[in-house]
């Protein structure tokens, strides 16, 4: 027998609260990020048959050989990008099902999210519509090229691993801007790029595992 909607909603809220407490124990300290993670119903962004795992700390398949990132990685990347500053105008490369864009919408002034796979973009748009987030814009585009028509960006966050940091993304950073991207074809590391005038400072951070950043659109 299916659970009544009200009971299902309360169960999801409790699961989300447990997820946020787990993020705290894992070292996430930014209260604004934790509040955003609490706001977004992750179970609405995963495939229906996987909803029971929506609040586990794991990546889940969303079709087209893509995944929704594990909650800790989403929270950690955003926390690192926010450290000591606001996110401002933000570009997300690899919108996927729209989950990270939804989280970003609660901590950034504006969110531009690009996705190269049209059916995934359509799904992200549908998922985000139910949340009514007015500061998110989605576009079908090759993320390697960024989104030059909306640049410069204070923040760029990439949800797929590249062999190196795409030059187009670095050039679309505003002065003082930050870019977070997984880099590597085998072993991957998060790389934080900070623009300081005409120079770019790169810091290699923890090991991660992401799907590859591909070129072109489909």
Residues catalogued as catalytic? 69
Distances (CA, A) of 98 to 32, 82, 101, 137, 167: 19, 20, 5, 11, 25
Residue 90: phi, psi to the nearest 5? -125, 135
Sign of CA dihedral 32, 10, 69, 121: negative
Distances (CA, A) of 67 to 62, 98, 99: 5, 11, 11
């Amino acid at each position: 027998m299916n659970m009544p909607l009200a009971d299902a909603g309360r169960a999801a809220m409790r699961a989300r609260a447990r997820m946020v407490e787990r993020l705290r124990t894992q070292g996430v300290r930014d209260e604004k990020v934790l509040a955003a993670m609490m706001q977004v119903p992750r179970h609405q962004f995963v495939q229906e048959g996987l909803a029971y795992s929506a609040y586990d700390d794991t990546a889940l398949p969303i079709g087209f050989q893509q995944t929704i990132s594990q909650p800790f990685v989403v929270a950690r990347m955003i926390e690192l990008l926010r450290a000591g500053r606001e996110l401002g105008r933000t570009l997300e490369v690899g919108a996927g099902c729209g989950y990270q864009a939804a989280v970003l919408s609660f901590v950034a002034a504006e969110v531009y999210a690009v996705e190269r796979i049209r059916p995934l973009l359509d799904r992200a748009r549908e998922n985000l519509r139910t949340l009514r987030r007015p500061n998110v814009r989605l576009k079908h585009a090759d993320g390697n090229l960024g989104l030059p028509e909306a640049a410069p960006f204070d923040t760029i966050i990439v949800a797929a691993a590249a062999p190196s940091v795409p030059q187009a993304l670095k050039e679309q950073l505003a002065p003082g801007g930050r870019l977070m991207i997984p880099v590597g074809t085998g072993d991957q590391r998060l790389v934080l790029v900070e623009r300081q005038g005409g120079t770019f400072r790169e810091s290699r951070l923890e090991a991660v595992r992401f799907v590859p950043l591909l070129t072109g659109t489909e």
